[in-house]
Structure 1
Amino acid sequence: MLEELVQNYYDRIQYYFIQRVKDRYYAEDLTQEVFLKVLLALPKQQPENFEAWLFTIAKFTLYDFYRRKKIIFLPEDFAAYIDHDQSSAQKSVDQSALMDSINRLSDKLRRPFILSIRGYNYQEIAAIIGVKESTVKSRIFQARQKIKKQVKE
C-alpha cells in the first residue's frame, strides 16, 4: 500500500517542496519526512480525501522546516563552531556575515556543514547524503575554512 502511495504522490510532493525551498536536497529530505509521517499515521487514520490530507501534512512539514531553519542555523555559539581557536573578543562576528558566507558555499559543502550544525555526527551525515564518512569530514573542514576566510575579508 505504501509503495503504491509513493509511486502515485512522491513526485508531486517533491515538486511542492522544490518550488518552496528552492533546494533539491531539502526537498528530498522533506518529501521523505512526509511519507514517514504518513506511514506512521495511516494505521490510526483513514482520511476521506487522502490527497488533501497528504498535502496538509506536507504544508505543516514545511512550516516545521522553516521554524527549525531559523533556530538551528544560528546558534549563539555559531562563530565558535566555525573556528574553535578564536578568542572571546573575536567571537562577536556578525551573524549575517556568517549566513552570507554559508549561503555562498557550494551545495556539496553547505549540506554536510549545516547537518553538522544541527547536531548530526559524521556517520549520520554520511548516511543522509550518501558519501563516505571521510568525505563528510573533509567537506565540513573545507566549509569551515572557506567561511573563516570570507568572514575575515
Structure 2
Amino acid sequence: MNRREYNMAVKEFSGRLFGYSLKYLQNSEDASDIVQDVFEKLWKNRKKVEPDKVKSWLFTCAHNAMINFIKKRSRMSYMDDVQTSDVQESHTKSYEMKEVIEKCLSQLPPIQKSIILLRDMEGYNYKEIGDILELSEAQVKVYLFRARNKIKKQLKDLTVLV
C-alpha cells in the first residue's frame, strides 16, 4: 500500500469507521480516538495490508481496539465502584426508545453487538461482516439471530414492567 492508497482509504472509510465506533462506544471522543489509532496502525502496517483488503482490515482492527478499550474501561469502572460503594444512585430514569435500544445493545456480548451494528446500522452483508470479524457467514447469521432474540426478549420484559 502506498501513500496515495492510504489517503484514499482514509477518505473512504474514516466516516464509516467513526460511525461504527460511535454506535459501539456511545462517546464521540472515544470513537474518534479509536479511528485515529486504527489509521495509525494502518500506516505502520501499510506494507503488510493488501489494498483490496483494507476495508476488512480497518473494521477488524477497530473492532479489536473497541473490545480492548471496553475491557480496560470496565476494569477502571470496577475500581471506581469499589472505592465509592457508599454512594447509591437512583435508577428511576425515563428512557426514550433510542436509549432503551442502546441499553439493550450494551448488554449484548461484544461479538453480537458488533454484528448487530455492522448489519443493522451500517448495512454490511453477511460476507463482509464475516471478513471483518473473521467469522464464517453461518456464524454471523447465528450470532445475529441470537442477538436479535436477546434484544426482543429484553424489550418484551421491559413492556411487562411498564
TM-score by length of 2: 0.45
TM-score by length of 1: 0.47
- Which structure carries more relative contact order (alpha carbon 8 Å, separation 6+)? 2
